Structure 1
Amino acid sequence: MEFAELIKTPRVDGVVLHRPFMPTVEGTLCLTGHHLILSSRQDNTEELWLLHSNIDSIEKRFLGSLGTIIVKCKDLRMIQLDIPGMEECLNIGSSIEALSTLDSVSLMYPYFYRPMFEVIEDGWNSFLPEDPLTSPPSIQTLEVNRDFRVCTTYPPLVAVPRDVDDDTLRKAAGFRHGGRFPVLSYYHKKNGMVMMRSGQPLTGTNGRRCKEDERLINATLRPGKRGYVIDTRTISVAQQAKARGGGFETEANYPQWRRIHKAIERSNVLQDSLVKLVEACNDQSHSMDRWLSKLEASNWQTHVKEILTTACLAAQCIDREGASVLVHGTEGTDSTLQVTSLAQIILDPACRTIQGFQGLVEREWLQAGHPFAQRCSMSAYSNSKPRHEAPGFLLFLDCVWQVLRQFPCSFQFTEQLLVLLFEHAYASQFGTFLGNSAAERVRLSLPEKTVSLWSWVNRPQEIDHLSNPLYEPNSLVIWPSVAPQSLLLWEGVFLRWNRSPRCQEEAHEEMVHIIEYNKELQNKVNSLRRQLAQLETQEPPLQTP
């Protein structure tokens, strides 16, 4: 298929662009295979470049011969294009709809993108999934999944307890949903405890048992110690799963493990919650009471609280009770990853650095099989009913922002890194978030044919842009508050396009200026102290009688 077949009208003059808090722009609208481009006649530097893959839906309106297209983007932006001529407007609209819903991954922009920056570091090789787990003597990495034959959603290398072999893992995989046998995702250096994640056990109605699975997770326990299984489903949902061949760990077969149910909502509920939240944030005609009521009715903050609470529970079991933890829901690719990754943010100061956080996303989301292609195919404005779409990764980023806001000096990065990851998860020129698993990315030849987002982020100038000027390394475990008054709406995402960014930008510039001034002042003080110390060590002059 050629892109030209989908572009009915490639160029229209006299198009007027309207964007909130920005001046109106008149210019020429052009459609390419991957971008909607508007160039200004008055100012050659005033351009709009919008990826078709970033378009969630459009609305067409007509008034006489003037047509208007409202473009609603996956990053929650809305722009208005006034197009002269009804036919041109209809052609542009149908072309955008076709180009923004391409099914073939190989036709997407990352395959055509050529970086204009120097690639100093190949992001595809920056983070190996087993790196943080190679040093402990109780842990080993195995290549049992080398060709993705055991589990199609796991990476080729997996970290497991030292005392298990490939055959044990294969049999345990047959007992877990999607072949997702328990693997180690975190090792707590303080006490040697570990956190694992998996799919649900396939016990079924007959209470099926797998001794290899029991041996696998028991290998993480110390003599006389117990472990905790944190199930992210309600007891009733877990019980219902038995009728479909799933289930949960029975106490008789796992006597050293205590099961705790901490309910986190499923995909369709989260997607509906995001739609309601964005609708409330975009409607500025409401009174304060009405707006707060709609915000509460979306239940978004409730989901944030549930995930943070469960992550704190997992961290508490590991750090304070000295117990190993296994986390799973049904598939182990959504709520499970939210909990395990957030628990590491709480426990591990390395995950609060720029490089460490990238490694966490790579290890616990991309390599762990979160289906980004399905979950992020549509955002909050889509007119189609959600099938597999869900804002699970956005919820995780929101939770990280809540912790960052409560501990502003403990993170090396600012919220700009979180916003950047949100945007690129839904639409990007990089191949990092394409596909649903490591196996799909290999099959699609993404490392060979596309550029990694990490190659862009890890350039010195971008690192400087994303760095937190208030950062002070904190080696302690941090415990975020989940009280209602402690959890706020993430304005940097949900209100970003509904208010002028000028005040926030000026405040950030002033903060950086104050910090730089204080550093200069401190350097002068230190220099004076050194000079005084040198004077004090010099011998006093001889006194003449």
Structure 2
Amino acid sequence: MLGAGGGAGGGAGSRGAKPSFVSYISPEEVHLKEPIEKELDPHLLPGELLLCEANMVLKYVQDDGSNRGTCGKLICTNFKISFLGDESTFDDEPQFQNKIIGENDITLQCVDQLYGVYDEKKKSIYGQLRKYPEKMIIYCKDLRVFHFCLRYTKEEEVKRIVSGIVHQTQTPKLFKRLFLFSYATAAPNCSELKNQMVMFDSIKDWRQELERTKGNLKFKAVSVNESYKVSKKLPTYFIVPMAVSEESILQYQGRGIPIWCWSCHNGAALLKMSALPKEQDDGTLQMQKIFLDGIYRTIDKPPYEALKIDDLSSSLPSVQDIQIAYTRFKQLFLIDNSSDFWDTDVKWFSLLESTNWLETIRRCLRKAVDVVELLEAQNTNVLLVEENASDMCCVISSLVQVMMDSYCRTKLGFQSLIQKEWIMGGHAFLNRCNHLRQTDKDEAPVFLLFLDCVWQLLQQYSPAFEFTETYLTVLSDSLYIPIFSTFFFNSPHQKDTTMYGGTLDTQGSRLSFHSVWDWSVQFEPKAQALLNNPLYVEKPKLDKSQRKTARFKHQRQLSLPLTQTKPSPKRGFFKEDQLIKNILGKRISRLITSSDELQSNSREFYDNWHCKPVDFHGLLLPRLEGPEIKVWAQRYLRWIPEAQLPGGGTVATATKVLDVMEDVQGLQKKVDEKHSEMVSEDDTEASPFLRNPARLSSLFPFALLQRHSLKPVLPTSTWKDLEGEEDLARRDDDFVDLGDV
């Protein structure tokens, strides 16, 4: 089911259904026509080493639990697990291929869980094994599921491959043993991408952003943290209010210092601040009170008199809550076989509701709407507070900018936003993605939560975004590809010290890492075209006369006219000593009240905006009611054949638009070139994705039309409740057809 998409069910931790048919035919008999001794050579990247391999491994087809599959070789390297077999695609149609990761490749960081099957019972495998399984199941963080049969493999090869995979994926790793460093050492010519993108690795980039948002009148870029002498968690350069002196930043080591994120067109600013330690003596509290009071006076001057502090730790789910919700949520998509899928299809929505993942997304979007209302309608500066200002601060500040700033909805702008708020903002990707497997307590899909929130906006207002949901999907996959440095460090300090061999003053060789933003490393130009939204409405350019009349305004246009708001009362921020102590870290969460619902002011602002036509280059507010928050089907359902819509889904629209665009481009070539011979040659070179639209489905572009098991007339769970044929006849009139998936 799943609305217009398809259902999903079955838990990764649940016991796998026993197959109804067991094949006693050996792989040699299955592939009798193919020469088994055919050599299968793995494709290895620079720095990649083959660690172990096993022959005569059967990769099962994930369908109805039968033992059909392909025979081949399973290998494990210091980069990936890979199955090498002769698997031909449907009519040999080319797919959306990644040049780094193949269809049967699993990077070591992408492995989520390992299970072994012993006498038809599935058990988690880790550590030293006393008994080796006859079948191994690998659950991936991108939600792929692989089943490998080892029944026909030599015993010594089974021991080597299983032990090697367990050791490489389940045991703690040393940071310098990541493949990221092996690849950077063996491929020294790779370099960071600087093409038009703002990387925020220089003070010039920060000053340009201040100028772009017209925030340079109240804020300044500082370089006090060069060589990371102030804080290892802050970037080398950042922006603070004018009143903040470098001596103050040094004194408080960057904590308790309001740091600028973005400025609204009306001058109101979005800031963030890491909370001070909870326990401090009275002298330190008094000094901090005087310091912050002076800063807030400069921010709270007319006409922007209000400053709102929002402690995100009290108003949003904790990192641990996010991890728990996502752990439950992902079990719905880790499908072992069709029996699991259909068995839970009828109760899928209740299972989805119980995970709390969509509610977590809704709460983040709701909080962002509250912040937008303060900035836009009330001309109020907003200060987001969090322990390290590197998790939910990143989520909310980024969402606010995507909603309010149309530049952040272009591809380059969105990438620069991630560089500024996440990479330079010190989000601990290494810990949150658990790349080292050293501890599970810090693991949480905070960045994936942000991408899911952006997807909600994109699917509601597709013409406002220059990129597609496919772009967001491959970006989420890139979290686990260890040749890019973008998502493999906890802070800019960790990256810089690693690049220079441990000390910033070292004059030796400098490691050079790939940036994930160089999409040519992963995809060919035709594949990259699927990352660009053909429905994107480009911003119209103003002529010179319009520019002169609108010079006093900021370059961003709003879809909501400025409404008259009640003036905020003039007030000092520190009214009570208790408030001072809480702001300084005693227990901020007790003071700042929060609600799961939109505030009354926000509700009026929200409803008024939705009553007006949408300006795709102005303010965007997501629809938050009930079913408007949906499951990101392309990412979560793309590997489940039963959930596909043949010829349907977003691909139906995308292919038609791309067909029209190709026709327009072809006509343009005829006009420009005026050479019929050249035009005819170009016409024969059709897009590989559109050559046969009948083969496409809602799984496109990650898979073409896949064969899958038919949906049973009655769900599996219903069959279990039926007593016999007479009972079936009696209940026939009560059956409600749920429709095709």
Q: Does TM, scored on the shorter chain, surpass 0.5?
A: yes
Question: Of 104, 107, 122, which aligns to 2:193?
Answer: 122
What residue number does 1:455 align with? Answer: 518
5 Å-filtered alignment, 1:78-477, equals 78-83=145-150, 84-100=153-169, 101=171, 103-113=173-183, 122-123=193-194, 126-129=197-200, 130=206, 131-135=208-212, 136=214, 137-138=216-217, 139-173=219-253, 176=256, 181-188=257-264, 190-202=265-277, 204=279, 208-209=285-286, 210=288, 211-224=290-303, 225-234=305-314, 263-282=315-334, 283-288=340-345, 290-377=347-434, 386-445=440-499, 448-456=511-519, 461=525, 463-473=528-538, 474-477=616-619
What residue number does 2:115 align with? Answer: 59
* Greater alpha carbon shift after TM alignment, 316-325 vs 119-128: 119-128
Change (3 A) 1:13 1:518: closer
Partners of 1:102 and 1:505 lie apart in 2 by 44
Partners of 1:460 and 1:88 lie apart in 2 by 37
Is this contact kept in 1: 2:434–2:443, CA < 8 A?
A: yes
Is this contact kept in 1: 2:431–2:442, CA < 8 A?
A: yes
1:47 offset after TM fit, Å? 6.5
Question: Of 459, 466, 481, which aligns to 2:623?
Answer: 481
* Secondary structure of the corresponding residue to residue 227 of structure 2: coil
Question: Of 49, 56, 61, which aligns to 1:14?
Answer: 56
Partners of 2:62 and 2:358 lie apart in 1 by 26
* Greater alpha carbon shift after TM alignment, 43-52 vs 85-94: 43-52
Q: Deviations over 1:198-229 (max 9, x none)?
A: 11244648772412233334433332511111
What residue number does 1:32 align with? Answer: 77
Larger radius of gyration: 2
Is this contact kept in 2: 1:401–1:490, CA < 8 A?
A: yes
* Greater alpha carbon shift after TM alignment, 141-150 vs 120-129: 120-129
What residue number does 2:106 align with? Answer: 50
1:374 offset after TM fit, Å? 0.5
Change (3 A) 1:345 1:516: same
* Secondary structure of the corresponding residue to residue 147 of structure 1: helix
1:465 offset after TM fit, Å? 2.7
1:294 offset after TM fit, Å? 1.7
Larger RCO: Structure 1 or Structure 2 (Cα < 8 Å, ≥ 6 residues apart)? 2
1:497 and 2:612 matched: no
Change (3 A) 1:133 1:279: same
Matched residue type, 2:531 = L
Is this contact kept in 2: 1:145–1:154, CA < 8 A?
A: yes
1:35 offset after TM fit, Å? 2.0
Question: Of 140, 161, 171, which aligns to 1:73?
Answer: 140
Matched residue type, 2:425 = A
* Secondary structure of the corresponding residue to residue 104 of structure 2: strand
What residue number does 2:594 align with? Answer: none
Q: Deviations over 1:50-97 (max 9, x none)?
A: 212221221122459982111111212110111224443333122112
Change (3 A) 1:127 1:448: farther
Partners of 1:498 and 1:43 lie apart in 2 by 19
Matched residue type, 1:309 = R
Between Structure 1 and Structure 2, how many residues are aligned?
487
* Secondary structure of the corresponding residue to residue 299 of structure 2: coil
1:171 offset after TM fit, Å? 3.5
Sequence identity of aligned pairs in percent? Answer: 22
Matched residue type, 2:266 = N
Change (3 A) 1:411 1:187: same
Change (3 A) 1:288 1:524: closer
Partners of 2:353 and 2:467 lie apart in 1 by 29
Partners of 2:224 and 2:191 lie apart in 1 by 33
Is this contact kept in 1: 2:192–2:513, CA < 8 A?
A: no
* Secondary structure of the corresponding residue to residue 280 of structure 1: coil
Change (3 A) 1:35 1:205: closer
* Greater alpha carbon shift after TM alignment, 420-429 vs 328-337: 420-429
Partners of 1:34 and 1:378 lie apart in 2 by 12
* Greater alpha carbon shift after TM alignment, 105-114 vs 45-54: 45-54
Partners of 2:87 and 2:529 lie apart in 1 by 33
Matched residue type, 2:400 = A
Partners of 1:288 and 1:509 lie apart in 2 by 24
Partners of 1:78 and 1:460 lie apart in 2 by 26
1:147 offset after TM fit, Å? 1.8
Could you state the TM-score of these two structures normalised by the residue count of structure 2? 0.60
